[in-house]
A and B are shown apart, each in its own frame.
Chain A
Amino acid sequence: MFICRLSGNRSLVACCVLLMMAVPALSARAEEPPPFSPLSPASASKPGPFIHSDGATIYRAVCQGCHMPDARGARGAGEYPALAADARLASAAFPAARVLGGWLGMPRFADMLSDAQIADVVNYVRTNFGNRYPDRLCAGDVARIRTTVQSGGEK
C-alpha cells in the first residue's frame, strides 16, 4: 500500500496524496497542524509536556519531525529509521522503551509524554503505516517499562 519514497522537491499535492495513502484516518485535504503545547508556567526556558491526547495527533505533532509524515524515515549525512512496515515493532515494549529513553541521538521523551500518550502513539504506529500488530499497549504497561528504563540508569 505504500508508494515509493518521494525524492527531491515534494509538492503539497504529493504530500497530501502520501498522507492519504499512508494514513487512511486522515482526510484528503491538507490538514492544519496539531495545536501547540503551552509553555510550562514554571519556567520560561523549559516548555512543558505535550498536550496532544491521541496517537495520530501525537505522531503528527512530534514523531514525524524525524520519522517523517509517511513514517519512512530519512537519509542525509546520517539517517532516521523508518517505522513503516517495521518488523522491530513486533514487540510493543521496544518502541515504548525507545520513546521513553531515547537512543542514538533520539531525544528521551520520558518527561514530555505521559504513559497514556506513549501507549497511544505506539498503538497508532503499530497499526498504521503498513504495520498490523493487533495487541495493544496500555498506560500501565508503559508505566512498567518506564521503571525499567529509569532503573537502567541515565545513559
Chain B
Amino acid sequence: MMSKLQGPRGLTRRQLLKRIGTAAGASVMYRSMSALGHSNESSYAGPVNLGAAPADTRVLVLGAGLAGLVAAYELRRAGYQVDVLEYNDRVGGRSWTLRGGDEYTELGGFRQRCEFDEGQYLNPGPWRIPYHHHAMLDYAKRFNVPLEPFTQINFNAYLHSQQAFAGKPQHFRHVQADYSGHVAELLSKATNQGQLDDAIGIEDKEKLLESLRHCGMLNKDLRYGVSNRVSRTRGYDVDPGGGLMPAPLNSTPIALDDLLQSGLWKYLASDLDYEVNPSMFQPVGGMDRIATAIHREIAPSVHFGAKVIAIDQDDRGVTVRYVDSKGGGAPKSMLAAWCVCTIPLSILAKIELQVGEKMLAAIQAPSYSASVKIGLQFKRRFWEDDDRIYGGITYTDLPIQKIGYPNHGMNQGGKGVLLGAYVWGANAFEFTSMSPQDRVRKAVELGALIHPQYRREFENGIAVAWHRAPFAQGCAALWTDAMRERHYENLCAIDGRIVLAGEHASYLPAWQEGAVLSSLDAIRRLHRRIVSHA
C-alpha cells in the first residue's frame, strides 16, 4: 500500500507520515486537554446580584439585542430607572427568527417577505447554544424558554466535494471511520517497522499497537478492510433485518488514496471544535424566544424605532439624540446619568460619540465579518424520508458551504425548512452582492447537486446577508490577536459615564454568550462605579 502512494498523484511516504503525525497529534492532544479540563468554559458564575441602586439613578441602554436586554433587565432588578432605545421594531438584534408573514427590507431597499408555512422558521443569526454557554442556558431557564437538542454531528449527513467521488456526497460515518482506520493501519506499520522507536518505549509500543487495533478497527494482521467490526462503525451495504430478510452485508471502505485526495478529512476536525461540542441546544420555536421572554419582563422600558445619531456626555450625565428609524424627522433627546451602549461597532463607528481617543480607536479597529444564511422551504422532508438525515449539517465545497437540517418536527412528514446555505469568507461577499432572489435561486441550484430532490420540492426561500442588515452592517466583530492587544481593554473600559457591551466586547465573537457575558461584566463594573460616585 505504501508503494502505491508513491506516484505523481499520491504523497510520498514521508509526506503522508507527516500528515498523519499532525492529525493524530492534534486529536490526541485535544482529548487529553479535554480530560484535564483545560479547555475554556464560560466564566458565568450564576445570576448577577448587583445590590441596590442609588435612588433615582437613570441608565440609558442603547440596543435591545441580548446584551442590551440583559443589561436592562438586571439594572432594573437592582432598582435603576432604565430606558432602552432600539433601532428595529422588535427586540433581539441579531438573535432573530424569521417566520411566515415577516417582512424584511435590507440595505439598498431590497425587500423580502417570508412565505414559510405555520411552524416553519429560519434563525438567520445564532442558531445553537453549546452546553458550556452557561449564561445563555441560565437565562433560558430563568425565563422558562424551553430548549430542545440541536444536532451538530450527524453521522448520516454528507461531506461533499465537487471534485471527489465524481461529485457524489459521502456519508460522514464513512469518511470518519475510514480515515481513522487507514491512519491506524499506517501508524501500526510504522510502529512495527521500528520507525517510532526513538519516540516510544517498548511497553508503550505494545499499548499503542493495541489501541490502534481497537480504535482503528484493525484485524489481527493490523489491516483495515471489510469486516464485521468495520461495518459496525461505518454501516452496512445491507442493514441487519429480521426473519428471512437478506442477511447483513458488510460495506467496503473507501480506498486510502481516494480518501486522502478527496480532502473530505478536513471536515472531520471542525466538528470536534470545543465551541460546537455536543450537547447543543436551540429554543423551541426559534432563537428569538429568549430575547422576547426577557423583553416581556421589561417591556415598558423599551422604545422601538429609535435611530441613535449622537451620544454626548459631560460631568453630569449622558445625552443621546435619536430620530425615528423610518421617518427620520426632528431629533429627540434622552438624558440619563449613565449609558450602556450595545450598538455594534460597525454602526457605532459612524455615530457622533463623545468618548476619549483610546475608546474611539478601539471602536474603529475591528472590521466585521461577512456571513449569509438562506432558508429554503420544501414541500416534503425528503432529507428525512429519502435520505434518512434527521438534523445535523452537511458540509460541501460548493459556495453554499453547509446545509443545515431542521432539528424540530422530525419524522412527522410534511413540509420543512432547510438552512440551504451558511456561508463565510469570499463566497459570503459574493452572495451579499446578489439580490435576495438571486441568492435563493443560487442556493437551490447548488444544493440540488447534493439533494436532487430540491428541483421538484422547493417552494420558497429567504436570504439574510449580514452586511446588508440595516441594524448590524456585518455579522460580527473580527478581532486579531494584535488588535486585541492594543484595543480590547480600551474598548471595555468605562469612559466617563459610558460603557460598551456586546459580542464585540468579548472573547466569544459572534456568540450570544459573548454578548451576555460582556453585558454582565459591564453592568457589574458600572454599578461599582455608580455606587462609588454616589
Partners in one complex: yes
| Complex alpha-carbon distance, A36 and B424, angstroms | 12
- A6–B109 touching, CB < 8 Å: yes
| Complex alpha-carbon distance, A92 and B367, angstroms | 22
Interface size, chain B (Cβ < 8 Å) = 62
- A78–B108 touching, CB < 8 Å: no
Is A88 interfacial (CB 8 A cutoff)? no
- A61–B369 touching, CB < 8 Å: no
- A33–B430 touching, CB < 8 Å: yes
| Complex alpha-carbon distance, A39 and B267, angstroms | 13
| Complex alpha-carbon distance, A7 and B328, angstroms | 14
Q: Which residue of B lies closest to A59 (CB)?
A: B433
- A62–B430 touching, CB < 8 Å: yes
Partner of B424, one of A6, A45, A74, A112: A45
Is A29 interfacial (CB 8 A cutoff)? no
Partner of A154, one of B263, B424, B469, B482: B482
- B483–A155 touching, CB < 8 Å: yes
**Inside 8 A of B425's CB, which chain A residues have their CB?**
39, 45-48
The digit string for A54-91, where 1 denotes a CB below 8 A from any CB of B, is: 00000011111110110000111111100000000000
Is A152 interfacial (CB 8 A cutoff)? no
**Inside 8 A of A80's CB, which chain B residues have their CB?**
107, 473
**Inside 8 A of A140's CB, which chain B residues have their CB?**
none
- A10–B471 touching, CB < 8 Å: no
Is B346 interfacial (CB 8 A cutoff)? yes
Most chain-A CB neighbours within 10 Å: which of B109, B365, B428, B474?
B109
Is A147 interfacial (CB 8 A cutoff)? no
Q: Chain A: interface residue count, which band?
A: 35 or more
Q: Which residue of B lies closest to A7 (CB)?
A: B109
Is B468 interfacial (CB 8 A cutoff)? yes
**Inside 8 A of A105's CB, which chain B residues have their CB?**
345-347, 349-350, 366-368, 473-474
Consensus secondary structure, chain A interface: loop
**Inside 8 A of B424's CB, which chain A residues have their CB?**
45, 47
Which stretch from B73-81, B204-212, B252-260, B393-401 is at the chain A interface?
B393-401
| Complex alpha-carbon distance, A61 and B428, angstroms | 10
- B267–A44 touching, CB < 8 Å: yes
Q: Which of A1-54 contact B (CB under 8 A)?
A: 6-10, 12, 15, 33-34, 36-39, 41, 43-50
- B470–A76 touching, CB < 8 Å: yes
- A37–B433 touching, CB < 8 Å: no
Q: Which residue of A lies closest to B442 (CB)?
A: A33
The digit string for A81-111, where 1 denotes a CB below 8 A from any CB of B, is: 0000000000000000000001111111000
| Complex alpha-carbon distance, A90 and B343, angstroms | 33
Most chain-B CB neighbours within 10 Å: which of A6, A37, A48?
A37
The answer to whether residues A104 and B349 also contact, given A41-B263, A155-B364 and a CB cut-off of 8 A, is yes
| Complex alpha-carbon distance, A121 and B346, angstroms | 23
Most chain-B CB neighbours within 10 Å: which of A43, A62, A69, A78?
A78
- A154–B480 touching, CB < 8 Å: yes
**Total A-B pairs, Cβ < 8 A:** 147
- B370–A65 touching, CB < 8 Å: yes
- B367–A102 touching, CB < 8 Å: yes
The answer to whether residues A106 and B367 also contact, given A61-B433, A77-B343, A80-B107 and a CB cut-off of 8 A, is yes
- B325–A77 touching, CB < 8 Å: yes
**Inside 8 A of B343's CB, which chain A residues have their CB?**
77
| Complex alpha-carbon distance, A89 and B437, angstroms | 32
A1 to chain B, nearest CB (A): 20
- B111–A10 touching, CB < 8 Å: yes
Q: Which of B472-492 contact A (CB under 8 A)?
A: 472-474, 478, 480, 482-483, 486-487
**Inside 8 A of B31's CB, which chain A residues have their CB?**
none
**Inside 8 A of A153's CB, which chain B residues have their CB?**
482
**Inside 8 A of B478's CB, which chain A residues have their CB?**
107
Partner of A60, one of B110, B351, B397, B433: B433
Is B301 interfacial (CB 8 A cutoff)? no
The answer to whether residues A33 and B433 also contact, given A66-B467, A74-B108 and a CB cut-off of 8 A, is yes
**Inside 8 A of A45's CB, which chain B residues have their CB?**
270, 424-425
Is B266 interfacial (CB 8 A cutoff)? yes
Task: Using CB atoms and an 8 Å cutoff, list the residues of chain A in contact with chain B.
Answer: 6-10, 12, 15, 33-34, 36-39, 41, 43-50, 60-66, 68-69, 74-80, 102-108, 112, 153-155
A-B contact pairs, 30 of them (CB 8 A): A9-B105, A9-B111, A10-B108, A10-B110, A12-B435, A33-B433, A34-B433, A36-B399, A39-B399, A39-B427, A44-B397, A47-B426, A47-B427, A50-B430, A61-B429, A61-B430, A62-B429, A62-B433, A65-B468, A76-B347, A76-B470, A77-B87, A77-B343, A77-B347, A78-B351, A102-B367, A104-B350, A105-B368, A105-B473, A154-B482
What are the 5 closest A-B residue pairs judged by CB atoms, nearest first? Answer: A76-B470, A47-B425, A105-B346, A65-B432, A78-B347
